């Protein structure tokens, strides 16, 4: 147990980015403190959500908490009840905040707004919007056209390597990157949210006709690959396996 004061004079209780507060948490995590005493709860934090996180740290290291001016003491049953009530409000606040964020994202995407994340190849981010980058956009168009020509992602990868065509980070395209790029509706000027598609604010790079042809080819290749595995497996088993009566046995699949 440390007999020590942690003073963050000049720092607001509205932030956890305070030198003495960080030192306090570090000492708690090192199991040096049994009980923390504050003048008022807002000297520790003014945010219910931050308070909930702090109490989680206290609980993990069996550290009690006392506010001497507010009858708040987690060493007593009444203090723990008060704590649970406060944490319930904190949980409620988190859930409401989460719902508001989700609603805002859904509403923004419905308007066709790009909501951030990794900027797709072919675009730049300007004022929180996607703007076409001509040189990269030509590369995207080439990838779509070349896939339709070669009709295979592995062949496309080989072509890109042979011609030293790389990503923005100067790396070779992976299979996963190409599948994601070729199926990305961003390139036809759309914004997706869950199972819904909206017209985007940004300019399309690929025309609808080319995009649909690529999607059909991707689908056909997926079906052919699956069918090929099953057919190959079946043909081998049919000629090799017989029952006790000499009849051919047909393989089947089960979950």
- Residue-level length of the chain: 255
* Contacts within 8 Å (CB) and 24+ apart, 8-14: 12/46, 13/42, 13/43, 13/44, 13/45, 13/46, 14/45, 14/46, 14/47
Q: For residues 202 and 119, is the Cβ–Cβ distance under 8 A?
A: no
Q: At what angle do helices 153-162 and 134-150 cross, to 10 degrees?
A: 130
CATH number of 123-240: 3.90.1750.20
Asked whether the CA dihedral 195, 197, 203, 205 is positive or negative, the reply is positive
pLDDT truncated to tens, each residue of the chain (255 aa)? 557 788 877 776 667 788 888 899 999 999 989 998 888 777 777 777 788 788 889 889 989 888 887 777 777 788 778 777 876 776 787 788 889 988 888 888 888 888 888 999 999 999 889 999 999 999 999 999 999 999 999 999 999 999 999 998 899 999 999 999 999 999 999 998 888 889 999 999 999 999 999 999 999 988 766 665 444 445 455 445 555 555 555 555 554
- pTM higher than 0.85, yes or no? no
Which CATH number applies to 19-95: 3.30.450.40, 3.60.20.10, 3.60.110.10, 3.40.50.1390?
A: 3.40.50.1390
Domain boundaries, the chain: 19-95, 123-240
pLDDT given at position 231: 45
Cα separation, 79 vs 81, whole angstroms: 5
């Amino acid at each position: 147990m440390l007999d020590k004061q942690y003073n963050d004079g000049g720092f607001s209780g509205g932030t956890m980015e305070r030198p003495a507060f960080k030192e306090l948490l570090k000492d708690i995590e090192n199991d040096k403190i049994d009980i923390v005493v504050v003048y008022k709860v807002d000297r520790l934090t003014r945010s219910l959500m931050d308070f909930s996180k702090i109490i989680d740290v206290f609980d993990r290291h069996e550290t009690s908490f006392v506010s001497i001016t507010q009858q708040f003491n987690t060493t007593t049953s009444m203090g723990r009840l008060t704590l649970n009530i406060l944490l319930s409000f904190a949980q409620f606040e988190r859930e409401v905040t989460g719902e508001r964020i989700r609603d805002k994202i859904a509403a923004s995407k419905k308007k066709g707004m790009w909501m951030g994340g990794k900027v797709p190849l072919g675009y730049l981010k300007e004022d929180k919007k996607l703007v076409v980058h001509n040189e990269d956009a030509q590369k995207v168009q080439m990838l779509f056209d070349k896939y339709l020509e070669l009709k295979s992602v592995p062949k496309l990868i080989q072509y890109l390597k042979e011609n030293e065509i790389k990503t923005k980070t100067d790396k070779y395209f992976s299979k996963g990157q190409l599948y994601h790029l070729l199926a990305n509706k961003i390139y036809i000027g759309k914004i997706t949210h869950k199972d819904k598609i909206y017209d985007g604010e940004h300019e399309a790079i690929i025309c609808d006709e080319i995009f649909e042809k690529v999607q059909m080819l991707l689908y056909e290749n997926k079906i052919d690959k699956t069918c090929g595995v099953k057919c190959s497996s079946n043909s081998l088993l049919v000629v090799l396996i017989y029952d006790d009566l000499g009849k051919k046995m047909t393989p089947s699949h089960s979950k």
